[in-house]
Chains A and B, each alone.
Chain A
């Protein structure tokens, strides 16, 4: 038989797979809850919010849409097109609901209706009853889908599978109860927010979307050649078995539009779990997009099933049977999981929401009436568990009753029609100020009855539970009471028929009842608040001029006692303290009556979060928190306010709402602004201080730079980027801008360009360079200039630049040159004089003494023997003359050795050292000359300088050194001549500056001047006990014409 599924998985393995899947979801939920506990909400974003709203797509969407498409064509689209149209108004409608939820701690749709209409417990109970009965078909729908698909995908392989197969209903029901309790009703939460569950639902939404689209893609692209191929075959299909009418199309659109917001689970996700109004904006397009995507393949899948002649009665399962029968059982298993995911998400949220509503709006009022049930207040959580179980079991019962007789879409529409009954009271409650409790009770009650009569009872008839005659002939044969043709209205399908009578009775009675019965001022105030929710918020007075006489401790005890009726004692104490803190009463012992009223409202708000607004209101009323005196004074306060303002209560409340909201808003903005201003002030002060310090520093630096007697320049990449005035003046530029931007070379003498540029670039690149050096520059007029440069690198506007301090040293250089020239002249003069004196001594005195020597010898030769005394006297005289001649020769040599002029420096030094050794036998003196084998002699000026240095050095050695050994070395190291003299004497403390006369001595100064006069350098090193080392280097200059 076509479409008969070939199951391949054992029941046990499928149960194991979806237990594993739920475990995975549980981990996701835990992750979200832990994030929330750690202060980082993973759910507080528009994507999770939008995906969680897709819980709208239950197994009805997953399976039922295909079934509808197969039987009624495009009618399935209305269930999603309606929400798409309705969502257009969400920015107004849903935002109002979210704002009211925040203000009143609303926990469910029943709670919302109750709060709006005088916190009516009866209205809440009625809404809860409607939701309970209305949801029953919806739960049945999910269970039917799961049971049916489970049967399709599994087969029995053993006794265990056989047992599971025969107990699939109870097993799945138990699993769903357990999962619902674990995910959503694990503990009591006054906010009724469940981040873990919302995250799990969002993940489920994504999961089912992906898998449904995967199934669609499989059908379109694997079983057929794409969308065009399959659509082209559609005209060959027989016309829809159950074609829809335009009226049906409109009715479905309207019911779906309502359902996306007022189904209890949708209300819970969209309103109660909402964390930010901003998320609504994204949800406004993301949810419709989700709906579009999940429906994209519905029609092709339905067509494919029909084209393959699958039975139309099994159209709900086409999405599963197509992959299963066409060779892809694993895809079928995943598709089954997607459907299971869609069903469980719906059941989880619905059961949790209904459990809250049942306990808050049915059980607690019942406990209030029946005192014996008072103990249940302490077991609210356990009561909710029972409610979850009861609710799911009730859905299962309904499934067993009607599941076989109706398709998924028909069951779903029964639920949609039920929840449409909320629409007049809910929509009217936020847009119509005159809507009141009486109208809501009448409308909702009538709507409930109409729905039950025209939708629920016929479903029992179709299941065979009620006799068919009830439907065809009416009760007791009264035809105009026929449920599907009420008052003779025929020609409409059941859904349109119900919608029509719902609008007539529900909407009509809501309007009439609201207009007929006048609400009290408190109800009017509440209506104002709800209608103006986007413009105002919950308020409390701030009058504080009254006497503070109410004992806070007493009131706190009362509040704690009240709360402990519903919560554990420790939690009640914490909640009581939180309420006191929330209204700013911490630390006070006495309260004014206004403060007490604020505390009362805070307690009511907190309690409403746990037990619903109506129950909380009743509980507080019964707790008698106000004494008679306090109640009287509160009345007086309100009376005074009204009298002073000369306003009606309605106007007053509106104004108070507006002004207090405005004040709160302004205060909040002001506080934020104040904080920001303070932060900015601090930042500004710090910045100003820093800027001032920087400015002062800059100013000081600029002044120092500008007024510096040295030229200052910044150079980047070889170009000036800044110069001071002095710098420009040094180089003869009247205006600074003539140099800024120019190349460094413009101020460097051509001989030194390469040297200066290299130094500048290497320094800029961070290489270690001498910090100070001189160079020869050129002024603007071309005249040369000597400058001393001190340079370093710095950062300017983020770049590394060279900062150079320049001083004009031309005068100093000229003075040095002059001194050097004069010194040379002086030395030359001295040498000339010595030379002349030596020559004179040699020539004049030598000749005279020679003549005298010969004369005295002749005189002595002429004396006789008797003149022995005279002869001896002449002999004495001749010896004196010879001694005098020796002395004169020595002095002459000292002044200017003849040898130097005639034989040159090396023989002269050799002779001089030998003579010195002869005179000072206590020390050993060595002389070595290296590299002087050539014939050309050194320049005479150079020779005399080197000779004098040796002479002066050896004189010092003889006088002071107490040396045992002296070495003299003369080395020709072209192009320089190096003279070294070293002794091993006592040495001396080196001078701090080489030119210091005190330590260096006159002899050293003389040496320096002599060396300097020929352009050489001299280095004298010594230390106590280390002897003296003298090293002179002079440029080698050879004698001309030698």
Chain B
């Protein structure tokens, strides 16, 4: 659980999710230039969308308020 939490809260994972989302949302056009037939594409895109919302729900649960570190490290991006 702790590892899951660490993974979800990492900016790298957010970048990965962005990339994955971008690819998934383009998939109907990547595999067929004209896109899928519309009802299928409609269902597919909403499914991907819902999964993205779900993923962001879990990510948001694992994001803590990160104030500047008071433990002596140099200021850094998070």
Contact = CB atoms under 8 A, between A and B. Distances in A.
A81 B75 contact: no
Contact of A292 (B11, B35, B53, B69): B53
B21 A84 contact: yes
Interface string B33-67: 10101110111011001101100110111010111
A91 B46 contact: no
Nearest to A284: B60
A235 B39 contact: yes
Interface residues of A, number: 43
A282 B60 contact: yes
B73 to A, nearest CB: 9
Contacts of B37: 235
A654 B68 CA distance: 14
Nearest to A89: B14
A663 to B, nearest CB: 9
A482 B78 CA distance: 45
B75 A665 contact: no
B45 A81 contact: yes
Given A84-B21, A88-B17, A665-B68, A536 B56 contact: no
A305 interface: no
Contacts of B53: 84, 285, 288-289, 292
Interface in B6-48: 11, 14, 17-18, 21-22, 25-26, 29, 33, 35, 37-39, 41-43, 45-46
A532 B75 contact: yes
Contacts of B45: 74, 77, 81
A278 B74 CA distance: 23
Given A81-B49, A235-B39, A87 B56 contact: yes
B56 A285 contact: yes
B1 interface: no
Nearest to A250: B26
A209 B16 CA distance: 31
B14 to A, nearest CB: 5
Interface in A214-262: 231-232, 234-235, 246, 249-250, 253
Contacts of B33: 246
A583 B25 CA distance: 52
A1030 B22 CA distance: 113
A654 B74 CA distance: 10
B18 A89 contact: yes
Given A87-B56, A537-B68, A81 B11 contact: no
Main secondary structure of the interface of B (DSSP, over half): helix
Contacts of A759: none
B41 A658 contact: no
B18 to A, nearest CB: 5
B65 A278 contact: yes
A246 B75 contact: no
Nearest to A532: B75
Given A235-B37, A249-B26, A661 B75 contact: yes
Nearest to B74: A658
Nearest to B11: A92
Interface string A60-97: 00000000000001100100010011011101100000
Interface string A653-676: 010011001100110010000000
A138 interface: no
A74 B42 contact: yes
Nearest to B56: A285
A246 B23 CA distance: 12
A281 interface: yes
A74 B38 contact: yes
A974 to B, nearest CB: 87
A360 to B, nearest CB: 30
B60 A84 contact: no
A285 B38 contact: no
A62 to B, nearest CB: 19
Contacts of A278: 65
A281 B60 CA distance: 5
A73 to B, nearest CB: 6
A292 B50 contact: yes
Interface in A913-967: none
Contact of B59 (A231, A284, A296): A284
A85 B22 contact: yes
A894 to B, nearest CB: 108
A534 B68 contact: yes
B77 interface: yes
Interface in A491-545: 532, 534-537
A299 B42 contact: yes
Nearest to B70: A665
Contacts of B63: 91, 281, 284
Give the most central of B18, B68, B70, B77: most A CB within 10 Å.
Answer: B68
A811 B70 CA distance: 79
A492 to B, nearest CB: 16
B68 A292 contact: no
Contacts of A89: 14, 18
Interface string A297-318: 0010000000000000000000
Contact of B21 (A88, A234, A250): A88
Contacts of B52: 84-85, 88, 288
A630 interface: no
A658 to B, nearest CB: 5
Give the most central of B18, B57, B65, B67: most A CB within 10 Å.
Answer: B67
A577 interface: no
Contacts of A292: 46, 49-50, 53
A246 B29 contact: yes
A87 B59 CA distance: 12
A535 B68 contact: yes
Nearest to B58: A285
A662 B67 CA distance: 10
Given A74-B38, A74-B45, A657-B75, A81 B68 contact: no
A828 interface: no
Given A231-B42, A282-B60, A288-B53, A532 B67 contact: no
Contacts of A156: none
A743 interface: no
A302 to B, nearest CB: 10
B27 to A, nearest CB: 11
B28 to A, nearest CB: 9
A535 B76 contact: yes
A620 to B, nearest CB: 28
Contacts of B67: 665
A49 B7 CA distance: 27
Contacts of B57: 285, 289
A277 interface: yes
A230 to B, nearest CB: 9
Contacts of B72: 662
A77 B26 CA distance: 12
A242 to B, nearest CB: 14
B49 to A, nearest CB: 5
A281 B77 CA distance: 18
Nearest to B67: A665
Give the most central of A74, A89, A249, A532: most B CB within 10 Å.
Answer: A74
B25 A81 contact: yes
B68 A662 contact: yes
A749 B45 CA distance: 89
Contacts of A662: 68-70, 72
A534 B60 CA distance: 17
8 contacts: A77-B49, A84-B56, A85-B21, A89-B14, A232-B39, A246-B26, A278-B65, A288-B52
Interface of A: 73-74, 77, 81, 84-85, 87-89, 91-92, 231-232, 234-235, 246, 249-250, 253, 277-278, 281-282, 284-285, 288-289, 292, 296, 299, 532, 534-537, 654, 657-658, 661-662, 665-666, 669
The 10 closest A-B pairs by CB, nearest first: A535-B75, A285-B57, A285-B56, A281-B60, A231-B39, A246-B29, A284-B60, A288-B53, A658-B75, A536-B75
Given A534-B66, A661-B68, 6 more contacts: A85-B21, A281-B61, A281-B63, A284-B60, A288-B56, A536-B75
